[in-house]
Amino acid sequence: MADSQAVRAALRAQRIETPSWAFGDSGTRFKVFTQPGAPRDAYEKVDDAATVHQYTGVAPSVALHIPWDKVDDYAALAVHARDRGISLGAINPNVFQEDDYRLGSVCNPDPAVRRKALGHLLDCVDVMDATGSRDLSLWFADGTNYPGQDSIAARQDRLSDALRAVYERLTGDQRMLLEYKLFEPAFYATDVPDWGTSFAHCVDLGPRARVLVDTGHHAPGTNIEFIVAFLLHRSRLGGFHFNSRFYADDDLMVGAADPFQLFRIMTEIVLGAGLDPAAGVAFMLDQCHNIEPRIPALIRSVLNVQEATAKALLVDAEALRKSQMDGDVLGANEVMMDAYNTDVRPLLARLREDMGIDPDPLGAYRRSGHQDRIAAQRVGGTAAGWGA
């Protein structure tokens, strides 16, 4: 069986990044729902992220979305984050929310629009310089809706040119993470539709470029753990955007739709040494909390990732390998199911006590009255949300 001390050490060292946009008002295609106490600017988003870390102990960074989190002084925002006990994480450029990008951003047939999009990407590397962020997280809404609308091959060339320009701007330990998405908002052909396309571009660019896996960006029935294992084996897995989906890119709380899938993914991470910091795998949430209160929803999401990781760490790797080599199909499956069916909540509760935090993070947050305090304090101004 897995060594209990090693399991606890791995869980203590785990890091899960929260997304700034998850703290603001969001909704469906039909309406954005408001909630009392929503943050009004990037500083209050950082405060909310710090609160999630306070109650979980394993969420010490928050990803930014530019220009949603635009400030005059990013270095000052980084200082504010450090003062609150966290840091600024991945920088996510936005090249999908302006009229100019109707036909795409870096893949647009208009060179002026491509220059504008590339300029924003390079500006975001400047933000990384100011904040000390390691990862530039790229997702493109680029694609076409109709056959013949544009040249598929030419759009790939335009994408390559833009990615190369950004890649050559990176310095130090900065990396580029290229996300993919099967469809939406492009319905005929998406320019980065799958992990293979992302992988190919990353290989062309070099070792600083890695694939970002969003767990909601796949066709139904896709074996995401295979993708994870392949990319990890090839040293091209840059990280995750964790969420859950029932039908498409639902951006629901991670583990809500299929906790067994999350366990399978984390098992491949554990077996492939992906928890080792040297592997460089970033674990980030990418969710929109439309109807549930945001801070406790993110706390719950962090707990879900922790529980899946704890179960994955309990997989008896030696017994699993023996069953595999012996061709013992049922024995191998039994090893996996034994770990998955283990109740790891007592283990995590003891770990939190050792870390000096409440063993029941959600209960502690509810008892704190924090939600009522920020609702009373954050009166006036404009709540942050999609596009702000």
Question: Model confidence over 58-79: pLDDT tens digits?
Answer: 999 999 999 999 999 999 999 9
* Residue carrying the six token digits 């904040």: 131
Residue-wise pLDDT for 340-357, tens only, equals 999 999 999 999 999 999
Nearest to 284 by CA among 22, 39, 9: 22
CATH T-level topology, domain 14-315: TIM Barrel (3.20.20)
| DSSP secondary structure code for residue 181 in this structure | -
C-alpha count within 13 angstroms, C-beta hemisphere, residue 8: 13
Q: What's this model's pTM, rounded to 2 decimal places?
A: 0.96
What pLDDT, on a 0 to 100 scale, did the predictor assign at position 387?
61
| Residue ranges of domains in the chain | 14-315
* 48, containing H or E segment: helix 42-56
> Within 10 A of 114 (CB to CB), how many other CB atoms are there?
19
Q: Check residue 1 and give its pLDDT.
A: 52
Low-confidence spans in the chain with pLDDT less than 50: none
| 93 preceded by a cis bond (ω within 30 of 0) | no
